[in-house]
């Protein structure tokens, strides 16, 4: 299938750039301009207008699987803080004694975990191919409830752009709760 790419204007500064913090100074302005030019070339080559975009072959995220140190702690956090009900627990086929379990995160999607009895996976690390963060859309009402439950437990978190809560789960994975609806982020369409 051959279709022409439509160049979409560069997003606004707030949506496209890291605002503040140490990461904003890791590269020079010349490097930043070169990266912006590369991004523009990729956009021109691969980003099609909604009308010309090929249909996805996917049907949705069946599940995203993460590793946890303790099943009970993870179930407590995701069910009682995030508000995602655990839907099933069974033995993981890959490791005897390991528990594989799933949470309903809405829209037919699930977040799954398994523990690794006898294996010391080590602490969370930001590495290539690893999880940077998982962003889950929730209603504004539930967003405030999650914030209140984090406050009740004295958990650290960061509020961003008036719609996002960034925190870490019990194993250090970065989780973002956003009350922008699916398909929108900080005033921009993502679909």
Summarised one tens digit per residue, pLDDT across range 83-138 is 999 999 999 998 999 999 999 999 889 999 999 999 888 888 888 888 899 999 99
Same domain? For 13 and 104 the reply is no
Q: What is the spatial distance between Cα 72 and Cα 80, in angstroms, rounded to a whole number?
A: 11
Q: What is the spatial distance between Cα 114 and Cα 89, in angstroms, rounded to a whole number?
A: 9
Q: What is the CA radius of gyration of the chain?
A: 19
Same domain? For 95 and 72 the reply is yes
For residues 18-49, one letter each, b for 16 or more C-beta atoms within 10 angstroms of the residue's C-beta and e for the rest, the string is eeeeeeeeeeeeeeeeeeeeeeeeeeeeeeee
Q: What is the pLDDT of residue 127?
A: 85
Q: What is the spatial distance between Cα 114 and Cα 99, in angstroms, rounded to a whole number?
A: 5
Same domain? For 2 and 87 the reply is no
Same domain? For 17 and 89 the reply is no
Same domain? For 131 and 153 the reply is yes
Q: What is the pTM of this model?
A: 0.78
Count of structural domains within the chain: 2
Which residues on adjacent β-strands are paired with residue 90?
100
Same domain? For 22 and 75 the reply is no
Domain of 134 in residue numbering reads as: 63-189
Same domain? For 1 and 22 the reply is yes
- The domain that contains 173 carries what CATH number? 3.10.180.10
Q: Which of 16, 34, 55 is the last residue of a domain?
A: 55
Same domain? For 15 and 94 the reply is no
């Amino acid at each position: 299938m051959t279709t022409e790419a439509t160049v979409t204007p560069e997003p606004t500064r707030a949506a496209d750039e890291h605002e503040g913090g140490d990461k904003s100074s890791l590269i020079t302005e010349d490097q930043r301009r070169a990266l912006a030019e590369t991004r523009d070339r990729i956009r021109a080559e691969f980003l099609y207008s909604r009308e010309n975009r090929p249909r996805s072959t996917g049907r949705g995220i069946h599940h995203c699987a993460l590793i946890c140190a303790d099943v009970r702690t993870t179930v407590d956090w995701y069910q009682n803080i995030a508000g995602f009900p655990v839907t099933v627990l069974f033995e993981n086929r890959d490791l005897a004694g390991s528990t594989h379990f799933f949470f309903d995160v809405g829209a037919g999607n699930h977040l799954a975990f398994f523990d690794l009895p006898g294996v010391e996976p080590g602490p969370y690390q930001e590495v290539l191919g690893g999880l940077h963060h998982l962003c889950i859309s929730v209603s504004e009402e539930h967003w405030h409830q999650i914030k209140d439950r984090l406050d009740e437990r004295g958990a650290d978190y960061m509020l961003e752009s008036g719609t996002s809560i960034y925190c870490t789960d019990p194993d250090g994975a970065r989780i973002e709760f956003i009350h922008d609806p699916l398909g929108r982020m900080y005033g921009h369409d993502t679909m």
